[in-house]
Amino acid sequence: MSSSSSTRVSQLGAAGLLAALLAAVCLLHAGGAAAAELCVDYYDCTCPDAYKIVQGVLMEAHQSDPRIFASLIRLHFHDCFVQGCDGSLLLDTFDGMESEKDARPNNGSARGFEVVDAAKAALEDACPGVVSCADILAIAAEISVELVRTTCASYCSLVS
């Protein structure tokens, strides 16, 4: 084997090693992102009553608006539909920059913002700066599903 071919082989080996290392780093980084999710007991230590607080706000809102559970589920869907569940649908228009909330497809059709705001205010009183608005919307949607199921079960037994 000539020195130029052995140099070429070692360059290819180094390039292959670099490519394998780069692929491993990418896979490890992607794995960490995939594991980032809201788990059921996430706020147990930092805001133990978060779930109960949001549930209380939702129950109160349901007294004056029986459709609020469906509205919050829909709001969560629309927040998650475009580039993930980040709470961006909750932002207000600022300094001439139109928000998702006020954008034409959502303006007048998305409802429940005031309930999320009320839940945020109640949570800020209990544990300031702990629960994000995106998580509040996710928790509110989860509780809404549970409460709709409970309400429907009670109603459906009366009808049948």
pLDDT tens, 110-126? 899 999 999 999 999 99
Same-domain status, 129 and 79: yes
Any idea what the CATH number is for the domain that residue 65 is in?
1.10.520.10
Give catalytic residues, as residue numbers: 78
Domain contains 76: yes
- CA-nearest of 78, 85, 80, 83 to 103 is 78
DSSP type of residue 83: T
Higher pLDDT, 133 or 106: 133
Same-domain status, 69 and 7: no
Same-domain status, 108 and 137: yes
Domain contains 45: no
- Model pLDDT, residue 114: 96
Residue whose structure tokens are 């469906």 = 70
- What's the rounded Cα separation, in Å, for the pair 58 and 63? 9
- Tally of domains within the chain: 2
Binding residues, by number, are 79, 82, 84, 86, 88, 100
User: 98: left (phi > 0), else alpha (psi -120 to 50), else beta?
Assistant: beta
Residue 36: phi and psi, rounded to 5, are: -80, 105
Mean pLDDT of the chain: 81
Question: Which alpha helices (H) appear in 35-132, and where do they start and end?
Answer: 50-64, 68-81, 113-126
- Model pLDDT, residue 20: 63
Same-domain status, 27 and 62: no
Domain contains 44: no
- What's the rounded Cα separation, in Å, for the pair 21 and 37? 27
Q: Which domain holds residue 75?
A: 50-159
Domain contains 118: yes
Same-domain status, 60 and 114: yes
